[in-house]
A = this chain, B = another copy of it.
Amino acid sequence: MSQAFKINANAEPYTDLPPIFARLLEAKAHKGLSFEAIGKAIDHDEVWVAALFYGQAKATPEELAKLGELLEIPTTSLTAEIGEDWFPRRGLGPVPPQDPLLYRLFEGVLVYGTPIKALIHEKFGDGIMSMIDCKVNVERKAHPKGDRVVLTFDGKFLPYLRW
């Protein structure tokens, strides 16, 4: 089992989240579980689990019950704070982001934004790529000059309604 871990709940991104999230992340660290391992226990992809652990996704009561059991957190605490009546956070945080890793994602998506838009327009027509009906994937790919992060967004194309 990994070392103890204590979150500073006064710092980004915890300030806007119910306190149970700090407890979830501390328990994950304490148990030494990866997001993938937790994902297997609740039958979800590791990115979705990470989104859940930062308040950006919403679990069902059954999933919360499994999580509670796995991480030894009372299910009633989980359902009271992030159960059916809870709205996920889904905020953007500070814009532009101050964190260097987030800033670079943001820069990447904006520097290449119009080219991506032009290609979507060329391949699909007038519409957008949904970030609601969308799944995200993060892979480590070995490479002799330094391993690479492969980040994928797989989202439904939505054409503009004409009425």
Enumerate chain A interface residues (CB-CB to B < 8 A).
2-6, 8, 10-13, 15-19, 25, 29, 34-35, 44-48, 50-51, 53-54, 56-58, 61, 76, 79-81, 83-93, 95-124, 126-136, 138, 140-141, 143, 145-163
For the complex, what is the distance from the CA of A50 to the CA of B24, rounded to whole Å?
31
What are 25 sample pairs from A and B whose C-beta atoms fall under 8 A apart?
A3-B85, A4-B80, A5-B84, A6-B18, A8-B17, A12-B16, A35-B118, A47-B115, A50-B114, A50-B116, A57-B162, A91-B99, A91-B111, A101-B120, A103-B103, A104-B131, A105-B153, A108-B155, A132-B160, A133-B159, A135-B161, A146-B158, A149-B153, A151-B152, A152-B153
For the complex, what is the distance from the CA of A5 to the CA of B151, rounded to whole Å?
35
Q: How far is the CB of A44 from chain B (nearest CB, A)?
A: 7
- Contact present for B155 and A3 (CB under 8 Å): no
A interface secondary structure, majority: mixed
Residues of B within 8 A of A104 (CB): 128-131
Q: How far is the CB of A48 from chain B (nearest CB, A)?
A: 5
- Contact present for B150 and A157 (CB under 8 Å): no
- Contact present for B115 and A45 (CB under 8 Å): no
